[in-house]
Structure 1
Amino acid sequence: MEVREAMHAPAQWVDADTPVAEVARQMKAEDIGALPVGEDDRLIGMITDRDIALRVVGEGRDPQKTAAKE
């Protein structure tokens, strides 16, 4: 299997300042569990559904106010 066979097209990404709640909505709409995070046209990381569950919801943070870069 080649990588392109496992990937969705076109590639999706989110801005570093995107609220986590919006990231979750985008993941649901696209049926994906991870999104690259970009800032100033550079990849700075990845955010996963697990990150949202454990680092935002699990820690009692507000998903409307928590940015993807956090």
Structure 2
Amino acid sequence: MQIKDVMSNHPVTVAPEQTLAEAAEIMRRIDTGFIPVGENDRLIGTITDRDIVINGLAQGKAADSAVRDAMSSDLYYCYQDQDVGEVARNMGEQQIRRMPVVDREKKLVGIVSLGDLSTEGAASAAGAALELISE
């Protein structure tokens, strides 16, 4: 089974110059804690609800600070045609719970999460990844 078979389609992105408040509102609206950050049609990072709190607010940054000031630029992604088991192992080794999915031209096409892996028939892959993340 490939990642494209289990990923969430139609990912929402934020721009690095958008504010932390805007990113938080988007997260609330689409019920997620993770959004890829894009600039000039390229994926440059990710921001999570935790990034907003830990790298933003707890560091004294205001809600009108730029996403760029709190995002993670350590970018992990997978390809839509990669095997679910391989991606789950990578997620476990990198200790991440969500990952952008790109096509072979590196255009963002989706997001895969441990939840996607566990609810779409790849539960053993999700369990293995979660075990590594929990170590």
Deviations 1:21-65 (A, max 9, x none): 00000000100011000111111000001100111111121111x
- Structure 2 counterpart of 1:14, which letter? V
- Structure 1 counterpart of 2:48, which letter? T
Match of 2:31 in 1: 31
The total of aligned residue pairs comes to 68
Alignment gaps of 5+ in structure 2: 70-135
- Structure 1 counterpart of 2:66, which letter? A
TM-score for the superposition, normalised by structure 2: 0.46
TM-score for the superposition, normalised by structure 1: 0.85
**Within 5 Å, which residues of 2 pair with 1:11-22?**
11-22=11-22
Larger Rg: 2
Match of 2:40 in 1: 40
Q: 1:22 to 1:41 in 2, by over 3 A?
A: same
What is the identity percentage for the equivalent residue pairs of Structure 1 and Structure 2?
37
User: Following TM superposition, by how much is the alpha carbon of 1:68 offset from its aligned partner in structure 2, in angstroms?
Assistant: 1.0
Q: 1:2 to 1:33 in 2, by over 3 A?
A: farther
